[in-house]
């Protein structure tokens, strides 16, 4: 297992970042490495983001000096979403089979977490997001059929989409982690525009369901000093609370969003008027 550390950047400093500096601080270019657990520890709300890609055998989620406890989940909770082939997650004595797009919430205090692919030729790709936790809740598997579904947008604005709220107070209890998936319909390319910020929570996106020659232009930064990152398939974005987070693709795509912070209110957003964007 490998873990990379990302420090917090002040918004006044980010105003002067080059494209390369933006990518180094906010873009996670490689999530999935065959046979490995690859993580990024961000000091933005102490989010841990990464991927587990088992191939020939099961791989274990280990602790690390940065985690500061004997087991990874002693004081953390974990969201898992399978973006690859069929897989299996072992949590202590329990076994959870995850089809593509299934999610799993793993409770604080779980000591042994292992990831396995059911077919090494089409390995599972387990996307991982972890936040600190203060209480233990139930480990729960959440398929799209169990998620809270919200259909939004219209073709005229290029944003017809379905939001699946998976780790969400109305679906699955957690200490602070909120997670879901947004699917854009063919012909729709925009997400989260008009833009918003929510200084009470930070967020991380992973974009997927993209072709090799398609890209998402992800907009970030303070509303009056916006920047953008060009994002490929299965790459993730770290989004601090002060930053907008919006994107437009060269084709439709899907993304998993996850949040941690002071509340779990999905609707708690500070909207940014279009005429305020620069």
For 224-248, write each residue's pLDDT tens digit: 999 999 999 999 999 999 999 999 9
Please give the Cα distance from 179 to 101 (Å, whole number).
Answer: 13
In the beta sheet, which residues pair with residue 184?
Answer: 161
DSSP conformation letters of 118-134: S-TTS---EEEEEEE-S
Kindly state the average pLDDT of the residues 245-255: 97
User: For the stretch 152-176, what's the b/e string if a residue is b when 16 or more beta carbons lie within 10 angstroms of its beta carbon?
Assistant: ebeeeebbbbbbbbbbbeebbebbb
* Residue 225 is assigned to a ligand binding site: no
For 119-176, write each residue's pLDDT tens digit: 999 999 999 999 999 999 999 999 999 999 999 999 999 999 999 999 999 999 999 9
* Residue 96 is assigned to a ligand binding site: no
Kindly state the average pLDDT of the residues 98-110: 98
Please give the Cα distance from 68 to 73 (Å, whole number).
Answer: 10
Average pLDDT over the chain, rounded to an integer:
96
* pLDDT recorded at residue 263: 78
* Residue 16 is assigned to a ligand binding site: no
CA distances from 118 to 10, 42, 50, 277 (A): 43, 31, 20, 47
Please give the Cα distance from 126 to 183 (Å, whole number).
Answer: 18
* Residue 198 is assigned to a ligand binding site: yes
Tokens read off for 74: 């002693």
Do residues 113 and 95 make contact, with C-beta atoms less than 8 angstroms apart? no
- pLDDT confidence bin for 264, thresholds 50/70/90: confident
């Amino acid at each position: 297992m490998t873990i990379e550390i990302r420090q917090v950047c002040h918004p006044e400093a980010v105003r002067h970042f080059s494209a390369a500096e933006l990518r180094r601080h906010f873009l996670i270019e490689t999530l999935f490495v065959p046979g490995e657990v690859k993580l990024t520890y961000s000091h933005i709300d102490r989010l841990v983001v990464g991927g587990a890609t088992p191939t020939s055998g099961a791989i274990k989620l280990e602790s690390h000096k940065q985690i500061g406890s004997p087991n990874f989940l002693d004081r953390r909770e974990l969201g898992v979403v399978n973006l690859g082939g069929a897989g299996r997650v072992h949590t202590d004595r329990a076994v959870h089979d995850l089809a593509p797009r299934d999610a799993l919430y793993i409770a604080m205090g779980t000591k042994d977490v292992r990831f396995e692919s059911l077919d090494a030729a089409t390995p599972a790709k387990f996307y991982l997001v972890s936040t600190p936790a203060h209480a233990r809740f139930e480990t729960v598997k959440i398929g799209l059929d169990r998620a809270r579904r919200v259909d939004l947008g219209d073709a005229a604005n290029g944003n017809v989409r379905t939001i699946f709220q998976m780790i969400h107070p109305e679906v699955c209890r957690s200490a602070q982690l909120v997670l879901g998936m947004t699917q854009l319909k063919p012909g729709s390319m925009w997400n989260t525009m008009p833009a918003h910020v929510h200084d009470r929570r930070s967020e991380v996106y992973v974009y997927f369901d993209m072709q090799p020659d398609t890209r998402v232009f992800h907009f970030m930064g303070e509303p009056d000093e916006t920047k953008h990152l060009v994002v490929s398939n299965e790459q993730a974005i770290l989004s601090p609370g002060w930053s907008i987070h919006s994107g437009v693709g060269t084709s439709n795509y899907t993304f998993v969003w996850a949040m941690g912070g002071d509340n779990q209110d999905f609707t708690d957003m500070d909207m940014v008027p279009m005429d305020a964007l620069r």
